[in-house]
Amino acid sequence: MSKKITVGVVGAGRIGKLHVSNLKKMDNVRLKTVSDLFADQLEDWFRESGAERLTKNYKELIHDPELDAVFICSSTDTHAEIIKEAAGAGKHIFCEKPVSFSDQETLEVYEAVKSAGVKFQLGFNRRYDRNFRKVKQWVEKKVIGDLHVLKITSRDPNPPSLDYVSRSGGIFMDMTIHDFDMARFISGTEVEEVFVHGAALVNPKLAEWGDVDTAVITLKFANGAMGVIDNSRRAVYGYDQRLEAFGSKGAVHVNNETESKVECWSEEGIKSDNLLHFFLERYNEAFDREVKEFIRAIENDSDIQTTFKDGIMAQRIAEAATASLKSGKPVKVRGLDE
């Protein structure tokens, strides 16, 4: 086996810890350092983590000459700064979405990454789900002929705290951004225009931040196809993740994953199994696979599949959606060269 890839992880929140546990299982990875602002409270977790060092200071990690790559899992407002530093230090970068809340800042970071020539992968984990990958392949192979309508249903089991929401950049930047990326991924084309109808139906207080928790979003694709996404912050029956690609020769559907294949038939009818609860369960395999792909790209010096551009475009659709919600009108999505 070739030399191991040495990595560090910035931010040991829910996602950071998940990446650590996946990195730990990989034979070709040396998991060296984890940094977190609240490192003191992470001692117990650290002992079982498989990492060699724990620090409060992410800079220590970024400037460590042994490190090949950095995972950036801290809060969104810190991404831009850390990416620039890491790129400057010549580290390959895996970053959670979104890069930033500002298009201007994102573009600056993009330039920094490009000129540093390091690899950069964005954490659009759903692209690595076996179901969506199969649909992507089938759509590419024209199994459904030409794509006419792409439908995505994406509903969370529970709304986040109001505190979280107030810092999230709004539902489109925080939650729908995954669906926007999925729309681009499956369709293989760009979104040109967005129209949103949204409301705060789960928690009316969200309206105070100008945010919504329920939305229907119409997409106009560059190749003439159309799309629709429907979101809710609370589906009481669990994490609802479905997709339908309809075309001239048929349709492909992704149904929900369930906890088991057990059905109960009783006087009250036929009851199927519950949906997998939330993203950690539903996309468990996908989280593992995206990390493997990133490490493999470094090992083989091959192309990253989920690029910085994917991040920029998903952000721009989210911005257009936010503008459409405010204006009540369809809004064009800016292309990358504008």
Which of 17, 80, 84, 22 has its CA nearest to residue 44? 17
From 7, 12, 152, 252, residue interacting with its own copies (rule: CB under 8 A)? 252
Place of tokens 């064009």: 332
209 class by beta-carbon count within 10 Å (0-12 exposed, 13-18 middle, 19+ buried): middle
Does 266 participate in binding its own copies (rule CB under 8 A)?
Answer: yes
Paired tokens of 53: 């060092």
Does 3 participate in binding its own copies (rule CB under 8 A)?
Answer: no
Does 167 participate in binding its own copies (rule CB under 8 A)?
Answer: no
Q: Are 201 and 230 in contact (CB under 8 A)?
A: no
Rounded CA-CA distance 183/125 in Å is 14
Distance of CA 193 to the CA centre of its chain: 21
Does 155 participate in binding its own copies (rule CB under 8 A)?
Answer: yes
Paired tokens of 178: 């995954």
From 148, 167, 292, 334, residue interacting with its own copies (rule: CB under 8 A)? 148
Q: Are 178 and 154 in contact (CB under 8 A)?
A: yes
Which of 170, 128, 173, 198 has its CA nearest to residue 312? 173
Rounded CA-CA distance 63/42 in Å is 22
Please identify, using beta-carbon distances, which residue of 191 and 297 lies nearer to its own copies: 191
Does 38 participate in binding its own copies (rule CB under 8 A)?
Answer: no
Stretch of 96-104, 138-146, 179-187, 304-312 contacting its own copies, by CB under 8 A: 138-146
From 2, 141, 262, 301, residue interacting with its own copies (rule: CB under 8 A)? 262
Q: Are 85 and 57 in contact (CB under 8 A)?
A: no
3-state secondary structure of 267: coil
Please identify, using beta-carbon distances, which residue of 21 and 102 lies nearer to its own copies: 21
Distance of CA 31 to the CA centre of its chain: 23
Stretch of 38-46, 77-85, 254-262, 309-317 contacting its own copies, by CB under 8 A: 254-262
Q: Which of residues 305-334 bind its own copies (CB under 8 A)?
A: 328-330
The 10 Å Cβ neighbour count of residue 170 is: 23
Stretch of 51-59, 65-73, 91-99, 255-263 contacting its own copies, by CB under 8 A: 255-263
Binding mask 273-292 for its own copies (x = CB under 8 A): xxx-----------------
From 60, 77, 140, 146, residue interacting with its own copies (rule: CB under 8 A)? 146
Smallest gap from Cβ 219 to its own copies, in A, equals: 8
From 163, 265, 301, 303, residue interacting with its own copies (rule: CB under 8 A)? 265
From 52, 111, 140, 259, residue interacting with its own copies (rule: CB under 8 A)? 259
Stretch of 106-114, 139-147, 166-174, 292-300 contacting its own copies, by CB under 8 A: 139-147
Bridge partners, residue 324, by sequence: none
Paired tokens of 94: 């895996």
User: Which residues contribute to the site for its own copies (CB under 8 A)?
Assistant: 1, 25, 27, 48, 130-131, 134-135, 138, 143-144, 146, 148-149, 151, 155, 195, 197-199, 201-202, 214-216, 218, 220, 224-228, 230, 232, 234-237, 246, 248-257, 259-275, 328-330
